Every structure is written in structure tokens, then in C-alpha cells.
Structure 1
Amino acid sequence: MTQPTHTHKTRGGRFALVAHYNGDTSLESHQIVVYRDLDLEVDTATTTKDWETNWRPVAGDDCTVCMGTGTDQIKGNKDRPCGGCFGLGKVRQDGETPKDRWQLAEVAAGIIKRQQQELEQRRQAMALPGVKAALEAHRMERQRQQEDAVAEQEQKWRGSRGHGPGGARHTGD
């Protein structure tokens, strides 16, 4: 049986990376990733960008039952915690399920420590000069683009024919 190499970031599941290919004909400019869904036993292809966005490698301390999601993958109950990791999505460093509350606390402490490190890295990045200004400029640009798109859509609607007599619009006025 093939071992899972990746899991979906939001849905979980067990996937094995099969190969990378250059696209043919209409997909010539794209890199294609072929992967195998180990649960359904189906080979599927997607673009490299989609692969990198939606799948992540299986870490050594990910629970082998839920593949790091922390939810019950066996019965399909996404609102119930996994029995293999008690809902944490992680197991001990040696890959074993925590046996008692102290081992469970050790796993939870590792998760908290990783989250604190990531948060500190983000704080340091935000402290760099110009980062806040660049993020604010990007946010303002996206907001302007969104407003422009809404205005363009409304103008297009107003310029088109309505469904009333002679193409009139019944706006309720």
C-alpha cells in the first residue's frame, strides 16, 4: 500500500504525489501535478499552483488517522474529534498516539510552541519599515478595484435592455 505524502489543507484525506508533467496542447504553459487519492484509489491531475495552494505535505507528527485535521475521517463526522489524536491533529514525535493526559499535554504544548513561533515571526515581519504601509496600500487598491467592478457592473446593467414593454426597466419608482 502506498503511503500518503500529502493531505488537503481543508478537507483532509490521504494523497500520494505521483508525478509532475509539462502540460500538452491547451495546457502548454502549465505544470501539471498527478496525484493519487488513496481513499478512493483514483489518479487525478491538477495544476502546480492549485496543488501548492490546496495540499500540504504530511508532517512526521501528523495523526495517521485524520492526517492532521483533528476530525473524524473514518465515519465522516467532521464535527467530531479524531480518536487517534483526541482532536489535536498531531501525535507524539515518535508517531505514537498519546496514552495519557501528560503525553497529550506534551503534544498540545508542542502545537502551542509552534503557533507562538509563527506569531512572533509575523510580528517581526510587521515591525519592518514599510510593511504596514504596503499592506494598507494593497488593501486600498483591492477595495478600489472592487468598487470599480461593482460600478462597472451597474453601468452595464443600466445600459442593457430591461424585460418590460419596449425593453423598459421596472425599478419600482
Structure 2
Amino acid sequence: MTSRATHTHRQHGGRYAELNQFDGGSALEGQKLVAYRDLDKDVTSATTLDDWRQHWRSIAADDCTVCLGTGRDSIKGNKGRPCGGCYGLGKVKRDSETPQDMWELAEVAIGVIQRQHQELGRLRELVALPEVQEIIKAKRDELPDWVQREQHWRGSGGLGHGGRRYTGD
């Protein structure tokens, strides 16, 4: 069996190894399934490919081997404390080694900041597209669904004075 973790759960963490992908049968006909092994509990299971992509993420080469990129202390079970392997960054040096001093830690932090800066730039480019601007403007201009329901409810007949519904204000 595979003993090396290839994925981790986005919310709960943990070590998982993707075993294979296959087509579902009977009730799951037409769906792609993923078989995986939970290395912490030593259990093999399967889920749909869509669920796999939504809830699990692959472990990058520079993810911390202790916390698997979460930055939280998973060994002692104290999720409020930073990981001792990566000092809460979730990342380690390019050679997968833990930073030994503050300068090595700073290099790792700079890498994290640069990746975040690139992602932010990419998102800004997407938001600047005219099609996206139209969608944003349309969403800002339309009233939320609950406002329309509330206005209809307040205007409808009821038990208050003058036949209007008593709303308390």
C-alpha cells in the first residue's frame, strides 16, 4: 500500500493517498470516482471526483511535512498554536527542510508573500475585465431576495391597524 501522503483535507487536515480513479457503476453510473486511503486511520474509501476536487488538495513539494501546509499544530491537537515545523507558515524551504534560523524562515515567508502577491495580481486582472465589471454592477444594483420578500410581507394584509401587518416598528 501507498505510505506517502499525496493529499490533505482542506478543512480537517490529515494524510491521504490517492489510489486510483475509476468509473462508477449501478447508482453511480456516469460518475468518476476516486479511491483513496486515509493514512492516519488506515482506511480505504471512495468518493466522487467532484467531491475529491472540492474537499481535498494535493500536497505541494514545499508544504510542511509536519502540518501538511495548514500551519497549525496537528500533532498535539492544539489547532490554535502554530506548527513547530514551519512556524505557522505552512511552507518550508524548497528542499523540504525546516528553516533553521530567522533568515531561512524569512526566505520562506518571502516566497509565501510573493505567491500571494501574484495571486492577488491575477485576481485584480480578472476583476478588471469588462464582463466581470458588468456582473458586479448588476449584483450591486439588484435588491437582495430577502428584501423583496420582506417588502411584500409588510405590504400584505394582516392583523394590525388599518389592515396592515403589525411589524413592531
Verify same fold: TM over 0.5: yes
TM-score, with structure 2 as normaliser: 0.80
Partner of residue 100, structure 1: 101
> Which residue number corresponds to residue 70 of structure 1?
71
Aligned to 2:4: 3
In the alignment, residue 37 of structure 1 is paired with which amino acid? D
Any idea what the Cα deviations from partners look like across 1:94-126, whole Å, max 9, x if unmatched? 100000000001100100000000000010111
- Residues of 2 paired with 1:121 and 1:37: CA distance? 34
The 4+ residue runs of structure 1 with deviation greater than 4 A are: 138-143
Classify 1:50/1:92 alpha carbon distance in 2 versus 1 (closer, same or farther; 3 Å).
same
Distance apart, 1:130 and its partner CA: 1.8
Query: What is the Cα-based RMSD across aligned positions, in Å?
Result: 2.2
Tell me: CA distance 1:48–1:142, structure 2 relative to 1, closer, same or farther (3 Å).
farther
Q: Identity of paired residues, percent?
A: 52
Identify the residue that residue 20 of structure 1 maps to in structure 2. 21
Q: How many residues align?
A: 150
User: Does the residue aligned with 2:46 lie in a helix, a strand or coil?
Assistant: strand
- C-alpha separation in 1, matches of 2:10 and 2:54: 8
Aligned to 1:112: 113
Q: TM-score, length-normalised on structure 1?
A: 0.79
Mapped partners of 1:29, 1:141: distance in 2: 38
Q: Could you tell me how far apart the structure 2 residues matched to 1:55 and 1:73 are?
A: 17
> Counterpart of 2:6 in structure 1: which amino acid?
T
C-alpha distance in 1 between matches for 2:53 and 2:65: 21
Aligned AA (1:68) = G
Report what 1:91 is aligned to: 92
Deviation at 1:19, TM superposition (A): 1.0
How big is the shift at 1:140?
7.3
Distance in 2, Cα, partners of 1:24 & 1:136: 45
